[in-house]
């Protein structure tokens, strides 16, 4: 059969990380590739207890197993509006809160309501790989804004706003993916001022704020805004479980109602059982105890990876040292192309992601992203040792 696919499928390929997943079913593979929380970090016993309680309530569970409203399970909308107070959003209202099927859906819905074919979005360079992929499905263009140690360069941002007239600016300002960077408060204010001045929406994607194991918390950009310019997107994937596929989006009512219309067409609603589990987790006060348990483990793994990098990687490899999140991002001063080493690494049972895939133009070849949360301590040590040998040309 000769299928007549839509134009938007032209040139669309699986993103690099999804491709790498194919190799990860091999149990001997050490993966620094995905953004997966550690399997050991899932609150299995708490979730088992929550499910038992939900199923004990015969009337309650029948409601949960029924179709639900697109906006979300009412108790979770309330607890999500409460949850975002942790990032300084003091006045989130339930009616401004949309429950989404993972943080990824919030990005997709924002694209759906704002983008026409050929429209532009500004992203930090480098940015979350999936955003570049989503933008292609809307036949939109991503332009990268230069970024330094403390986040995007606001002069470059303003210049590119004037040049490209973007529909929105997509940012991960806290423990960003892929770099682990966090923007200081002054930078956040400047970004907001610039966006408001030019009438551009800011999409603040924040799945990582609560994975902080060092430094002081910084308020979200959304918490600084009184104009409705910011869409705040968060997820329970990294702090409870990605398998729940549950997150929340907080924005101006007009934006939320348009996103809700599109969500209705996409999946009707986020699975209510997942929503009820996430709600009971938040409402039951389990989050703080859970974070207290997992954050020292993540800190330990980050330190191990940094130490192994110091010991085994070539001296010209410089990398970030984040206070939270799941990633270290590094660059080789020699300017090698990390893609040239990728298959050799896979053959030697170590997976990473080429940094170039995170850049809007895909053109900074000497970079890599390394995830430190998923592997064991022993795997981090031996995996980085193998990578060191490969990048030094010893394997």
- Please list every residue from 32 through 51 that binds ligand PLP, using CB under 6 A: 35
- Please list every residue from 267 through 296 that binds ligand PLP, using CB under 6 A: none
Residue at shortest CB range from ligand PLP: 102
From 98-106, 112-120, 142-150, 273-281, give the range in contact with ligand PLP by CB under 6 A: 98-106
| DSSP-assigned states of every residue in 319-333 | E---SBSSEEEEEET
Nearest distance in Å: CB 151, ligand PLP? 14
Nearest distance in Å: CB 395, ligand PLP? 30
**Is residue 143 within 8 Å of 123, Cβ to Cβ?**
yes
Is 237 a binder of ligand PLP (CB under 6 A)? yes
> Where would I find the H helices in the chain?
16-21, 44-56, 58-65, 74-83, 103-114, 129-137, 154-164, 185-198, 253-267, 272-283, 286-312, 339-347, 377-391
From 2-10, 141-149, 235-243, 251-259, give the range in contact with ligand PLP by CB under 6 A: 235-243
The correct pick among 37, 68, 72, 242 for binding ligand PLP (CB under 6 A) is: 242
Is 108 a binder of ligand PLP (CB under 6 A)? no
| DSSP-assigned states of every residue in 340-384 | HHHHHHHHTTEE-EEGGGGSTTS--TTEEEEE-SSS-HHHHHHHH
Q: Which residue, 68 or 176, has its beta carbon nearer to ligand PLP?
A: 176
Phi, then psi, of 302 in degrees rounded to 5: -60, -45
**Is residue 369 within 8 Å of 325, Cβ to Cβ?**
no
Give 84's contacts (C-beta < 8 A, 6+ positions apart): 92, 220, 222, 232, 234, 248, 250
Determine the Cα–Cα distance for residues 132 and 123; give it in Å rounded to an integer: 9
Is 367 a binder of ligand PLP (CB under 6 A)? no
Spell out, one character per residue from 121 to 160, where the chain touches ligand PLP: x when CB under 6 A holds, - when not.
-------x--------------------------------
Nearest distance in Å: CB 358, ligand PLP? 11
User: Contact positions toward ligand PLP, by CB under 6 A?
Assistant: 35, 102-104, 128, 172, 177, 205, 207, 235, 237, 242, 247
């Amino acid at each position: 059969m000769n299928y007549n696919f839509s134009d938007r499928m032209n040139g669309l390929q699986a993103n690099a990380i999804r491709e790498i997943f194919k190799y990860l079913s091999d149990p001997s593979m050490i993966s620094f590739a995905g953004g997966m929380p550690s399997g050991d970090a899932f609150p299995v016993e708490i979730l088992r207890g929550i499910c038992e309680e939900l199923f004990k309530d015969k009337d309650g569970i029948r409601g949960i197993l029924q179709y639900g409203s697109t906006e979300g399970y009412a108790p979770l909308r309330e607890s999500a509006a409460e949850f975002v107070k942790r990032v300084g959003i003091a006045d989130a209202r339930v009616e401004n809160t949309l429950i989404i099927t993972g943080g990824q859906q919030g990005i997709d819905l924002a694209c759906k309501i704002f983008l026409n074919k050929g429209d532009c979005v500004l992203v930090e360079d480098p940015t979350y790989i999936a955003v570049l992929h989503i933008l292609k499905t809307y036949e939109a263009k991503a332009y990268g804004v230069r970024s330094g140690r403390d986040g995007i360069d606001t002069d470059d941002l303003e210049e590119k706003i004037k040049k490209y007239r973007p529909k929105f600016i997509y940012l991960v300002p806290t423990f960003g993916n892929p770099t682990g960077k966090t923007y200081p408060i002054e930078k956040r204010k400047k970004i907001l001022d610039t966006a408001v001045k030019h009438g551009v929406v800011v999409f603040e994607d924040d799945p990582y704020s609560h994975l902080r194991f060092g430094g002081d918390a910084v308020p979200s950009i959304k918490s600084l805004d009184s104009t409705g310019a910011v869409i705040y997107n968060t997820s329970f994937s990294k702090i409870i479980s990605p398998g729940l596929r549950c997150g929340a989006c907080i924005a101006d009512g007009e934006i939320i109602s348009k996103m809700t219309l599109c969500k209705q067409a996409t999946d009707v609603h986020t699975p209510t059982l997942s929503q009820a589990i996430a709600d009971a987790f938040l409402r039951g006060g389990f989050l703080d105890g859970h974070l207290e348990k997992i954050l020292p483990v993540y800190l330990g793994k980050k330190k191990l990876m940094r130490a192994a990098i110091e010991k085994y990687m070539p001296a010209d490899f410089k990398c970030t040292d984040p206070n939270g999140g799941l990633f270290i991002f590094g660059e080789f001063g020699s300017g090698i192309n990390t893609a040239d080493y990728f298959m050799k690494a896979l053959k030697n049972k170590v997976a990473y992601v080429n940094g170039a895939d995170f850049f809007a133009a895909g053109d900074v070849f000497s970079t890599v992203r390394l995830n430190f949360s998923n592997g064991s301590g022993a795997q981090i040590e031996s995996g980085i040792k193998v990578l060191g040998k490969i990048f030094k040309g010893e394997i």
